[in-house]
Amino acid sequence: MKKIFVLVLSLILVVSNTAFASETGDNTVDENLIIELYERVENPEAWLDFIEKHSEDDLGQWLPLLLKKMLHDEHKKEVVDMTYTSVTTTYDWGPSVNKLVLDLKQEVKADILTKDMFHVESVRTFKDFSFQTFSFAENASEHVADRNVTEIYLSDAEGNKVENSQYITLEMEVGPNLSEGAALNYNILTNRNSFVDTYYKISLNPGAVLESVDDQALTFLPAAEDEMDKNINGLADKFVHNQEFSSNEIDLLYASYEPEADEALPLIIWLHGAGEGGKNTYINVMGNEASNFVSDEYQAFFGEKGAFVLAPQAPTMWMDFDGTGIYNSDVEGSMGHSYYTETLMALINEYVENHNVDMNRIYIGGCSNGGYMTVNMILEYPEYFAAAFPICQAYSVDWLSEEKINSIKSLPIWMTHSLDDSVLPIAEGEKDGIFVYNVEKDEDGKPILIDDYSNALYNRLLEAGSENIYYTVYDHVVDTSGQYVDDMGNPHQYMGHWSWIYTLNNEVSEMIDGQEITIFEWLGMQSK
């Protein structure tokens, strides 16, 4: 490129200034020149950058005119109006954008596609948080980062591989520590997740060649915000989102999945954690991988026709004492009261009345704040549900009475928790930063357990004579896929509170009647 610039400069010196001066009005970088550069040269961005840097001197002033004189139709490329679709997939750590589907508007050759053809940058806009001032910046700013393309192929409009197509899919690297792909941003002050405004800058790398099946060389101007067509959310798009419900002057949103069937089907009720409250049900479906419930694999656990799924969303959090965002655990004498209990039950009743639900197979579960609400609902309505699966649940031992325990001792329940949970600890220990909790052990090397939360609920139910009850406890929450490791090659370790990962991946299992049964296999077997 430097040699080209030297050649251009030499030509400018050879050609007389008077020859150029006679052609006024043609020495600007206009839309036509930009298109011609993209049509005819290998690295148009470099030319435009060079012109901009020299815009105040003679070289930058006359270079656009010279280029217009020099450019000709040899090797002319067709500039297509490329648009793209982003694909967001929910992973153990949350949703990440893992694909971009480029629409080239005409069929493209597959055999020349390579993963290093494109340069891709994510542009995520949000307010920066300062741990020094413990506050957010006044204004949001753009956070630009390169995305690593791991695979490229022809696809349909949704990113599925095909042999012939006008669509090219770029698969990109994602991971629990790669924030450049994250679709959610966690607000540490509100303890709430929200979607990040994101678009992608996409361009062809210098020397990269795209061709149509008709042997026409193709190119496109770098994609920006207005070239994004839509976003696809995988399994989460199978839900109907942001449906409204109101009762007791309290408004709730909910998402639901409704399989086609001419018979009564089970109903799974999912209650989200505190971070997934708000006014967008994509967050409470995707924040904790609850979208797995509508996969073919999980639906099959509940019969040939599957099950309904209902995912309500609290405007604040399920442990809200009075609707103002005050945790009931901070209110003396609250006895675990939730502002949303009656309204949630009214929503469930209305949904059941309007759908062909098998009244003997209604299941309820949730994680953390939703684990609390799961316990709260079965205690308030002990005859209604067929089974419950509270995960890292937050119902305090102080709220458990003998009467409450006896009311649910016959109900099938499966609980999950991790020993290194620092948010809802079930073992003595000390926090080491935000994510690490060092469990204290006795002289025999066993963890010193705390009589609260899942421990307390499980022990009280056993003492009361519960039989169909299971409690799976983990030392840590780690990646089990083998894809994500630390610097030492060990499986990536998540925050101990995130034991919902094991549950929602259906990796929780116990030996039952001589067979290893997973939690959702077990759940599908339960009936009143």
Structure confidence at residue 19 (pLDDT): 39
The pLDDT value given to residue 15: 41
Q: Is 414 exposed, middle or buried (0-12, 13-18, 19+ CB in 10 A)?
A: buried
Last residue of a domain, one of 178, 199, 232: 232
Q: Which residue has the higher pLDDT, 153 or 73?
A: 153
* pLDDT computed for residue 238 by the predictor: 98
The continuous run of DSSP H or E covering 79 comes out as: strand 78-79
pLDDT score of 53 more than 90? no
Q: Could you tell me if 285 and 239 are in contact, meaning their C-beta atoms sit under 8 angstroms apart? A: yes
Q: Is residue 441 domain-resident?
A: no
Work out the burial of residue 7: count CB atoms within 10 Å of its CB; fewer than 13 is exposed, 13-18 middle, 19 or more buried: exposed
- The answer to whether residue 443 sits within a structural domain is no
Average pLDDT over residues 394-407: 98
- For residues 133 and 118, membership in a common domain is answered with yes
Residues 240-268: tens digit of each pLDDT: 999 999 999 999 999 999 999 889 999 99
- DSSP 8-state symbol, 81: -
442 occurs within a structural domain: no
User: Which of 137-141, 225-229, 349-353, 459-463 shows the lowest mean pLDDT across its residues?
Assistant: 225-229
pLDDT tens column, 68-105 = 555 555 557 888 999 999 999 999 999 999 999 999 99
The band of 142, judged by pLDDT with boundaries at 50, 70 and 90, is: very high
Pair (418, 473) in one structural domain: yes
Residues 179 and 315 in one domain: no
Among residues 223, 214, 168, 221, the alpha carbon closest in space to that of 39 is found at 221
Per the prediction, the chain carries an average pLDDT of: 90
Give me the amino acid identity at 310: L
CB contact at 8 A, 121 and 146:
yes
CB environment 427-454: b (16+ within 10 A), e (fewer): bebeeeeeeebebeeeeeeebebeebbb
Q: Which 8-state DSSP code applies to residue 43?
A: -
Q: Are residues 31 and 130 in the same domain?
A: no
According to the model, what pLDDT value does residue 23 have? Answer: 43
What confidence score (pLDDT) does residue 207 get?
80
The mean pLDDT of 325-346, rounded to a whole number, is 97
The rounded distance, in Å, linking the Cα atoms of 230 and 48 is 29
pLDDT of residue 35: 75
Task: Say yes or no to pLDDT of 59 above 70.
Answer: no
Sorting pLDDT into bands at 50, 70 and 90, what band is 510? Answer: very high
Is 109 among the domain residues? yes
pLDDT at position 12 over 50: no
Q: What is the pLDDT of residue 286?
A: 97
Q: Does residue 489 lie within any of the structural domains?
A: no
3-state SS, 289-355, equals CHHHHHCHHHHHHHCCCCCEEEEEECCCCCCECCCCCCEHHHCCCCCCCCCCHHHHHHHHHHHHHHC
Give the tens place of pLDDT for each residue, 28-42. 666 777 776 776 666
Please report, rounded to a whole number, the percentage of residues in the chain having pLDDT higher than 70.
89
* pLDDT tens, position by position, 447-501: 999 999 999 999 999 999 999 999 999 999 999 999 999 989 999 999 999 999 9
Short-list 245, 200, 249, CA closest to 226 = 200
**Residues 341, 283 share a domain:** yes
Residues 54 and 193 occupy one common structural domain: no
Query: Do 341 and 301 share a domain, yes or no?
Result: yes
Phi, psi of 400 (to 5 degrees): -90, 115
Q: Tell me, yes or no, whether 173 and 117 share the same domain.
A: yes
**How much is the average pLDDT of 109-114?**
94
Last residue of a domain, one of 181, 203, 232: 232
Count of domains for the chain: 3
- The CATH number of the domain where 292 resides is what? 3.40.50.1820
Q: Which two tokens stand for residue 21?
A: 């001066």
Q: Are residues 217 and 262 in the same domain?
A: no
Measured between alpha carbons, how far is 191 from 202 in angstroms, rounded to an integer?
33
Residue 188: the pLDDT is 84
Q: Residue range 498-516: average pLDDT?
A: 97
- Interatomic CA distance for residues 292 and 167, integer angstroms: 27
- Both 244 and 176 in a single domain? no
Residue with the two structure tokens 């899942």: 454
Q: What integer pLDDT is reported at residue 4 of this predicted model? A: 43
Residue 492 included in any domain: no
- How much is the pTM? 0.86
Q: How far apart are CA 527 and CA 240, in angstroms?
A: 27
pLDDT at 24: 43
| Domain-ending residue, one of 232, 256, 279 | 232
Q: Which domain holds residue 277?
A: 236-426+450-479+498-525
Residue 59 lies in a domain: yes
Asked if the model's pLDDT at residue 1 lies above 90, the reply is no
Both tokens of residue 56?
Answer: 């105040």
Tokens standing for residue 506: 């259906």
The answer to whether residue 431 is domain-embedded is no
Residues 408, 411, 417: CA angle, nearest 5 degrees:
90
Mean pLDDT of 281-304: 97
Alpha-carbon span 357 to 349, nearest angstrom: 10
Q: How confident is the model at residue 58 (pLDDT cuts 50, 70, 90)?
A: low
pLDDT at 42: 67
Q: How confident is the model at residue 62 (pLDDT cuts 50, 70, 90)?
A: low
- Contact indicator for 152, 114 with CB cutoff of 8 Å: yes
Contacts of 368 (CB under 8 A, 6+ apart): 273, 274, 391, 392, 393, 394, 423, 424, 497, 500
* CATH label of the domain that carries residue 95: 2.60.40.2180
Do residue 389 and residue 328 come from a single domain? yes
Q: d(Cα 166, Cα 120) in Å, to the nearest integer?
A: 19
Residues 358 and 279 occupy one common structural domain: yes
Q: What is the pLDDT of residue 177?
A: 94
**Using H for helix, E for strand and C for coil, what is the string for 167-216?**
EEEEEECCCCCCHHHECEEEECCCCEEEECEEEEEEEECCCCCEEECCCC
